[in-house]
Each structure stands twice: as structure tokens, then as C-alpha cells.
Amino acid sequence: MIRDAIKRLMDFTLSAYAILMLAPIMFAIGILIKLDSPGPVFYKQVRIGKGGKPFKMWKFRTMVNNSHSCGSKITYNNDSRITKVGSFIRSIKFDELPNLFNILKGDMSIVGPRPEIPEYIRRYDKRMEKVFSVKPGLTGPSQIIFFNEEKMIQKKNIRKIYRKIQERKIDLDREYAEQYNPITDIKLIGRTIVRIFQPQDDGMPESI
């Protein structure tokens, strides 16, 4: 389809440009991560992409090394496993800058549903079919609305709140997958930039 070709052209062009422009910042973040805590600079995790196919998604490491072996795979408010540098770069979403390489490669898109790990989507298999018809994205409607998702999740009720959030995110992602187009993507990119630099309430959206 024409819109898919345009979307891929936008993804390739913008991700390549962003990587070149942000290279100094990413290099600096890498140094800070190494100085802040022992462990690798990058963190990779298997996520589910278009067509339900798994791929390795790259991010900057923001938690202590091997953090998932000593706690939940879901990050929650005031999670003690998050490092000092990690807390800062997570607050402005710079931990996700390595996603740009996934976008350049073609595993992801700039705009699309946020990719989840396999074990958290099994219960939504049929509902996720439409979501899997498009590539997962760095940003999108659900990522904007749940920009500070981890701050909404408390340690005492991690899974309950997470499931509640997932239900709403699936609805948002399905809606996007049904009607995405280049103009919508440009608007969502703009909303994302505004959201990063315009702090808002961290509470649960009223639509939940």
C-alpha cells in the first residue's frame, strides 16, 4: 500500500537523521551509564513485532545489571532497581533512543503500538491481531497517554494496575492500526515532543 511505503520512507529518513544528530548525546549517555553503575550500556529484550514475530529491541540500560532476576519484569513507581542516571533519562524518554536503530533496520516504526514482551500478550492473542498488522513504534497514542506509566503502577498492586493499563492501551493501539496515515503520524510525533517538554499529571487517565 502507498501509505505503508510512505511510512517506511519516513521511518528510514527520520531515524537516520536522528541517529546522526543525536549521536553526541547518545555517546554522552553511554559514558554516564558506565560511570553510574557496573554493567553494559545497552539493554536488549525480546519483544513482539509486526505479524506476531519476535525481535530484539535495544534500549539504554537504566536499571542495575540483571535487574529482572531480582524482581518483577514490570517497572513500578519508585522502583529501587532504577539507577540515578537511569531515572533521569527515563523521565525524558532518552532511554529509548537506541530504538532508532530498530527503526532504521525495519523492526519498528517511529509511530505505532508499543511492543510488549511475549508473556504479557498471550492473554490478549485474538485482540492483538489488529495491533500486529502494523510495526510497533517508538511513540504512538498509548505511549503519549501513558507517558509516565511506571509512576501509575504501585508495587503493592503491580499486576492489577498493569492489566488495567494494558486493556486501554490495546484499544488505543487497535484504533491506530485501523486508521493510521502519514498526517496522523506527523501529528503524533509533534504531540510526543510537546509531552516530553511539558510535564503533566502522573495520575491514571480518567478514561481508565
32-56 burial, b at 16+ Cβ within 10 Å, e below that, comes to bbeeebebeeebeeebbbbeeeebe
Helices and strands, number each (H, E), in the chain: 7, 4
Q: State the pTM of this model.
A: 0.89
Query: Per-domain residue ranges for the chain?
Result: 2-197
Residue 77 has pLDDT above 60, yes or no: yes
21-65 tens-digit pLDDT: 999 999 999 999 999 999 999 999 999 999 999 999 999 999 998
Residue 164 has pLDDT above 90, yes or no: no
Residue 98 has pLDDT above 90, yes or no: yes
Residue 199 has pLDDT above 80, yes or no: no
Q: Which amino acid is at 181?
A: N
